[in-house]
Chains A and B, each alone.
Chain A
């Protein structure tokens, strides 16, 4: 090939690099054969403690659910994972249809008309939803629940810098952990672009979306756990404008916090202001049903600095896995898993409540699959004591929600074994 190019050496291919900026190779060891790579990576990862080795009751937006083997088999089809953005529709009908089905499932779960193929995660979906609300209303103020995951708040603040969004936090009711409706009424002023609430909220409590809709004067953004929507009424029933959420729990791994799946859906009237990639149904030259990326004039590669968002590469493969998960479980399977999560959380809270020195759930009313536990001693102390007994408790809320006193957020799913609960309860009982 070099000869065909009339070159004497590979170095001549780089003759256009100025001498002062050249480097001679990379400061790295030489490559390893595959067995050694496997050995090295697996031996490093063996330092992690997961699964049976360390039953874990963490949630806060990410949940270990059981993923049927068929779901991973489908997402592992290399035609899916080794392709890229389906710019060429004719060659990509399969993944386009899969993503159309994903959008359709998200719409059905949320009660919205349209969904995009993904945002990076729930936190960036929130940032994008706030920007979209500002585009729709021309206003700047976003009303947020005080009971919001702090990382989502931090991400939102960065996303809002462009148009200069402002935020007002609304406290939660100290008894039942849901948003304080009287305070919400006071927080929505004439410059309100959107009210954002979550159901289940950060404390695992279901919110009263119908009443919140009556108070919210402009765009209503609802954050969801899509799994819970198999058994609870969707935000679309109550007039939400935009629904976002974390889709990881629909067939994807927790994976130390990524990759995740930002769910994003809206009502039909807003679709042209929606960020992200969208698949539409159309026809081919022979009049047969076909699918393609559509409304691309909203996107960065066409609209450039006037685009709705800068997102290009997104989380498509997780959307594929989610479509597969919803399909493999089916409507009935999803309902079984969702109900079981509710029942397990209720049962676990009941067991913890019986342990001296602990109060659970800290809030009254219906929860999904997590709840706040209050302890009489510092949660850090509880946490250390549980770890020493081979069980990982919930997420400490002491630094971000000091008003709750000694408190932590505990989650459970269908993946916990009876022995895991026994180990947790026994460890709580023996906290000195």
Chain B
């Protein structure tokens, strides 16, 4: 496939010839507070629109092409969601409005939390957390509060498999817990190592299933038993939920709590890096600890309940990323039970098909089925003086966003595609053909890739060594 990304020599807005900046209107701000200089762009509207249109053309989204970023679930974002989220009833409602005037918003929150609880096999859900990592933070706060209340507050260790997402480690670290890493064996949690690690200090185990290798942890019931026997709780990291809709759920697997990543599984867009949404679901014994307020319904009226004495309090202001919750709600309505089941079946079929196609060219550790994603290794590229990063960069020249690379860490030169359900066989074949073609190319072309993007290989080392993080710092640096 031929691909050329747009290339514009687009200066910073600050560098464009700007109209003069006027002083603030006199007499409005007291003289001791009044600001004189304000070095911000001051341009005609059309210049600004053209600037950002050009910058958007030097950006690659799902709508541009295949984006198999592993563990990120880059699926199509239906356009109707954007229209619904732009309704004035969504945009203009203030969270402190009297509940009688926001019954529509509250109904959506209530219905969505009820639906998510069912999907997760949980009893109650909070929609408050702003992203998956904040869901983890919330879950650990809940575990901490529950165990403290039970008189078991000395527990301070979080067990994490070596395949876990980086956020799991960071969420535990942020709360001052000690991380105990549990090794895997043949691509799954090593039960003997888990037995040895679990004990009276265990607060919780955090696990994603399927794990980040795309392998289903088939001994998950044993994992749950070991952690529960040790007195700890089980937390399900929902980043990989796209693999299990309608097939199993975390409640059935024995988890006590979980988070969903609605921007992944339920396709509220990724927004260039966010916003996300990370609702947390719990079994009934943990419900009293959920953040305030709870959204409740008495059969006629929706309201907000702050009277939850055991609650952990709040993890962010107000009730959650409502604009995204509306999109997730619409997605679930339009998919329904049949559609969501298809989502998982097709996502898993696509991943296994793509793996089979790539197996001809790249090594994939561990035999057997995968779920929604898989990890191959680019180790053999080294024979030709290349690395996974080179393959990833060269894929851009074929019009593909590269998969996640160098994660999970236990696979050398990891290359981790997650195709999702919204891709055709033709796209998967084209991607596999591109990988095959690249492996036959002159290594020099691959090592110096990409060639068809707005920038050539970017020097990230220089960026980190001499940070220039703003127009101010850049001007200072130039002046020096």
Contacts and interface: CB of A to CB of B under 8 A. Distances in A.
Do A and B come together as binding partners? yes
Given A16-B216, A253-B92, A310-B133, A94 B59 contact: yes
Interface in A324-365: 324, 326-328, 330-332, 334-336, 338-339, 342-343
24 contacts: A14-B247, A17-B247, A23-B248, A25-B246, A26-B118, A26-B340, A31-B338, A48-B104, A56-B94, A64-B92, A85-B270, A88-B396, A91-B450, A93-B55, A94-B57, A106-B470, A124-B316, A253-B92, A258-B130, A290-B459, A295-B467, A296-B464, A302-B166, A342-B29
A124 B91 CA distance: 22
Interface string B157-176: 00000000011011111111
Contacts of A90: 393, 396, 450, 453-458
Interface stretch (A139-147, A311-319, A371-379, A419-427): A311-319
A210 to B, nearest CB: 9
A44 B104 contact: yes
Interface string B324-353: 101001101111111111000100111011
A80 interface: yes
A181 interface: no
Interface string B27-46: 01110011100111111010
A123 B317 contact: yes
B97 to A, nearest CB: 6
Contacts of B352: 5, 13
The 4 closest A-B pairs by CB, nearest first: A257-B318, A31-B336, A305-B173, A317-B271
A313 B39 CA distance: 30
Contacts of A157: 313
A47 B62 CA distance: 34
B438 interface: no
A70 B47 CA distance: 11
Nearest to B313: A154
A104 B14 contact: yes
A326 to B, nearest CB: 6
Contacts of A29: 336-337
Interface stretch (B193-201, B226-234, B471-479): B471-479
B153 interface: no
Given A313-B131, A315-B271, A318-B275, 11 more contacts: A1-B350, A4-B353, A14-B247, A48-B104, A70-B49, A74-B53, A81-B61, A283-B459, A301-B167, A324-B48, A331-B41
Contact of A107 (B170, B318, B470): B470
Nearest to B338: A30
Contact of B56 (A42, A77, A117, A313): A77
Residue of A107, A206, A280, A283 with most chain B CB atoms under a 10 A cut-off: A280
B468 interface: yes
Bin the interface of chain A by size: 35 or more
B98 A256 contact: no
Contact of B321 (A37, A232, A259, A339): A259
A91 B401 contact: yes
B92 to A, nearest CB: 4
B463 A253 contact: no
A84 B322 contact: no
A231 B349 contact: no
A34 interface: yes
B369 A48 contact: no
A118 B83 CA distance: 25
A332 B246 contact: no
Given A48-B105, A78-B63, A307-B173, A26 B52 contact: no
A293 B166 CA distance: 17
Of B53, B60, B64, B353, chain A has the most CB atoms within 10 Å of the CB of B60
A100 interface: yes
B77 A83 contact: no
B378 interface: no
B331 to A, nearest CB: 9
Contacts of B333: 31-32, 37, 40-41
A279 B470 CA distance: 9
B89 A84 contact: no
Interface stretch (A159-167, A168-176, A187-195, A215-223): A159-167
Interface string B357-401: 000000000001100000000000000000000001100100001
Contacts of A256: 90, 93-95, 102, 105, 318-319, 322-323
A227 interface: no
Contacts of B107: 44, 47
Given A231-B24, A290-B459, A92 B60 contact: yes
Contacts of A316: 271-275
B96 A395 contact: yes
- Most chain B CB within a 10 A radius of its CB, from A48, A281, A328: A48
Contacts of B54: 94
B455 A288 contact: yes
Interface centre among B34, B316, B323, B474 (most CB of A within 10 A): B316
Contacts of B458: 89-90, 282-285, 290-292
Interface string B62-79: 111001010010100100
Contacts of B433: none
B448 interface: yes
Contacts of B176: 161-164
A255 B263 contact: no
Contacts of B43: 327, 330
Given A88-B402, A256-B90, A314 B314 contact: no
A197 interface: no
Given A95-B59, A113-B473, A48 B95 contact: no
Contacts of A74: 48-49, 52-53, 56
A431 interface: no
Nearest to B16: A327
Contacts of A229: 35
Interface in B233-263: 245-249, 252-254, 261, 263
Contacts of B340: 26, 28
Contact of B469 (A41, A162, A278): A278
B470 A114 contact: yes
Nearest to B109: A256
Interface string A390-430: 00100100000000000000000000000000000000000
Given A64-B94, A84-B74, A310-B174, A330 B317 contact: no
A232 B87 CA distance: 34
B272 A317 contact: yes
B453 A21 contact: no
Given A60-B96, A107-B471, A268-B473, A314 B274 contact: yes
Nearest to B6: A94
B300 interface: no
Contact of A120 (B134, B221, B450): B134
Contacts of A50: 88-89, 92-93
A103 interface: yes
A207 B1 CA distance: 60
Nearest to A128: B174
Contact of B33 (A32, A279, A305, A366): A366
Contacts of B86: 72
Question: B25, B96, B321 — which one has the most chain A CB atoms within 10 A of its CB?
Answer: B96
A331 B334 contact: no
A322 interface: no
Contacts of B460: 89, 282, 292-294
A330 B41 contact: yes
Given A88-B392, A93-B58, A113-B472, A1 B425 contact: yes
